[in-house]
Amino acid sequence: MNKLIYIALLLLIVSCNSDDNSSENQISTLTSLESQIGLSYAESIDAWNELKTNNGTSYRYQTTFSSFTGFGSVTELTVTNDVVTTRVYQEFSTDEVTGEQQIIDSYTETGSQLGNNAKGATPLTIDQLYASCAAESLIVDATANTIYFQTAVNGLMTLCGFVPDFCADDCYEGIRIDSFDWVNE
């Protein structure tokens, strides 16, 4: 038992001392606001607006949460003509023996029901997610947090958030877009 505790503490110390948490790295991330493929926040918004011009304002995206404990959830949001029209939520636990995900809670909301359930991602359009990214995630103290901003190859933001320094588990706060599809209007 003591060996397991020692190993866990060693892993925690190593992860907290990694170069990814250095103040220099955090300040650089905040200053440039560039994703791993080189697009800045402003360039990503421009790419998003271009994508909407070319494809319309109806789309579907998913966001997920997964804990190290095996608990997780998936929220799928459908936006029609720039308005969120459907939110589908599934919560799951992962069986430790088989690795299978078992659905433990789910719902579908439409129309006036949108937002009635506390669980799941907030029903927001991608435009609203960009605004939230700038107002809530990219302004946190870079000396006390690791800030993340990533885009897909097409320029769409896929990650915008932060992790407080010295936080060990399930600490990411912000936006994560795991899948995106255009919907025919």
Residues 6+ apart with CB under 8 A from 27: 142, 143
The pLDDT score that the predictor gives to residue 23 is: 33
Q: What is the pTM of this model?
A: 0.75
**Beta bridge partner(s), residue 64:** 74
Give whole-number Cα distances, 72 to 24, 66, 78, 101, 169, in Å: 33, 4, 20, 9, 14
- Residue 30 pLDDT level (bands cut at 50, 70, 90): very low
Residue 172 has pLDDT above 70, yes or no: yes
Residue 21 has pLDDT above 60, yes or no: no
Distance from C-alpha of 163 to C-alpha of 147, rounded to nearest angstrom = 7
Q: What is the pLDDT of residues 103-157, one digit of tens each?
A: 999 999 999 999 999 999 999 999 999 999 999 999 999 999 999 999 999 999 9
Residues 6+ apart with CB under 8 A from 56: 182, 185
Give whole-number Cα distances, 164 to 4, 144, 151, 167, in Å: 25, 6, 21, 6
Distance from C-alpha of 127 to C-alpha of 76, rounded to nearest angstrom = 16
